[in-house]
Structure 1
């Protein structure tokens, strides 16, 4: 479950007990701790979600509870993140306040659920399993693909779609448009076939913004030669990232690689973290 999914679950549970005041970042200017669309729901004795913490959140919680107690106020308030708030971000947040009840729960979930960016992960080995765990709370919809039976663990996170495909590259044409692809199967031959399938799809549709292959520079040099032999041009090969992971992280433990790769995927998202359709 993503962090947003967990917050929405807690919101529904909180609204079963009492009304709340929903505080949403409607607009930002300059440097701010959260982006437009971030939210928190404030009840008399609980807070679900966050608009960035610090004194601005402290003031927003107090304002929300004042309204829950019957106090009036404009729908949107402006907060300058400067000395008067004890913060030095320098930006401005415009916060919208609205009271919500259990009757609003379904509509709120629909409205607040962010669009998740599709990720296709080829390979159920140690790094693949670490990546599946790291990606679970992030704004990605993960499809996990392997050619072997029984490779996926029994405790896969909710929302992760596990898919058996033999041959494994046969899954590539059916990937969701906009998928970020990560290739780390148990076999270099399978890896090569998946990369080739992704490049063929790029020729036809050009809708895979990131194709990442686990491995060393020497592995990629070998793959480049073999892909050239299959008829792929240099410009096409430039669409493949290998090695994967943000630079500067030297560790090779599966969990370390997973964090580095997840960070690289996050870099492919727009500034507010949520890709539009």
Structure 2
């Protein structure tokens, strides 16, 4: 059984919304945070899509300047030209536009069909749908735009948009959405899956035991009632995927581990005590895996928070996944 929920219902669909509005004849623009200073509420690369009817998707701040950006975007659509905006700290006037957090941001507004070619936006949307990393490169001096599927390795790895060292060339990184494969529809999974979705992951639950991996226990989630190795092979393991094994049953965990240890997934975590993990290491060593490959497994799983109960263990797992994603493995 494979129950799926549309990714558009869960993750940002900002470029997709802009393309849809443009093709519907409403007009559209994309606003992108290009620089920040101080306590900026959104990171560089954050986007807001605006339609010609003033509909919006996404954000470039905590709500402080969106109104002003919408007005500028509507004017930019009429002029069919890009605009660069800057917002600093708001003054004592409660109605002044600015950031209350004390930071400063710069925002690039690009009307679709002029500053941002429709064909280029469509190609970007296609790449996102296919989970292909792509960089949108804008030369703010010449007005040239392009998509890069190669190069920018460090930016892709760090998921970091920004200006190149030379010239006013802005690179917006569009990585595939983070994905989490959870093997084992146990109590920890019931807490971890919704937490991970809130944190920006696209979770997939794998358990051949239909009594465990059921719609009743995980309403609205994508569930694969396949053997884990078959499910993992079907889903795929890339640099934006985390694998969490919660069954501590070798016949379920080990086949998935065999695939994960020779994949590019950024995180592998396996539930079990220190003794359970030691036996796991022995089995993998006997199978032919190297010490370096086995060392990729985080086991016992999760940061040592002194967690008690399924929900707290889920917090510790998500915290460790975040640490590895942002700082790399220890």
TM norm structure 2: 0.59
Cα contact 1:19–1:99 (8 A) shared by 2:
no
Q: 2:317 aligns with which of 244, 247, 261?
A: 261
| Corresponding residue SS for 1:4 | coil
1:222-244 deviations in whole A, cap 9, x for unaligned?
43345445554443332110233
1:236 aligned to 2:236?
no
Cα contact 2:87–2:104 (8 A) shared by 1:
yes
Q: Count residues with an aligned counterpart.
A: 256
| Corresponding residue SS for 1:133 | helix
1:2 shift after superposition: 1.8
Q: Which runs of 5+ in 1 are unaligned?
A: 272-277
Aligned equivalent of 2:35? 28
| Corresponding residue SS for 1:27 | strand
1:250-275 deviations in whole A, cap 9, x for unaligned?
24234x4334433433444469xxxx
Q: How does 1:206-217 map to 2 (within 5 A)?
A: 206-217=263-274
Q: How does 1:97-176 map to 2 (within 5 A)?
A: 97-98=110-111, 107=122, 110=125, 113=128, 115-154=176-215, 156-157=219-220, 160=222, 162-165=224-227, 168-169=228-229, 171-172=231-232, 175-176=236-237
Cα contact 1:131–1:262 (8 A) shared by 2:
yes
Q: Which runs of 5+ in 2 are unaligned?
A: 1-8, 92-97, 129-173
1:98-129 deviations in whole A, cap 9, x for unaligned?
268xxx7x949827955223432211222223
Distance 1:225 1:97, change over 3 A: same
1:12-65 deviations in whole A, cap 9, x for unaligned?
887799835434215224453323442223355643321122433343133235
1:75 aligned to 2:82?
yes
Larger relative helix fraction: 1
1:4 aligned to 2:60?
no
Q: What is the RMSD of the two structures over their aligned residues, measured on CA atoms?
A: 4.1
Distance 2:127 2:284 in 1: 44
Cα contact 1:192–1:223 (8 A) shared by 2:
no
1:137 shift after superposition: 5.0
1:57 aligned to 2:66?
yes
1:181 aligned to 2:243?
yes
| Corresponding residue SS for 1:40 | strand
Larger mean CA deviation between 235-244 and 16-25 belongs to 16-25
Distance 1:87 1:18, change over 3 A: farther
1:204-227 deviations in whole A, cap 9, x for unaligned?
x44233210123334324433454
Aligned equivalent of 1:92? 105
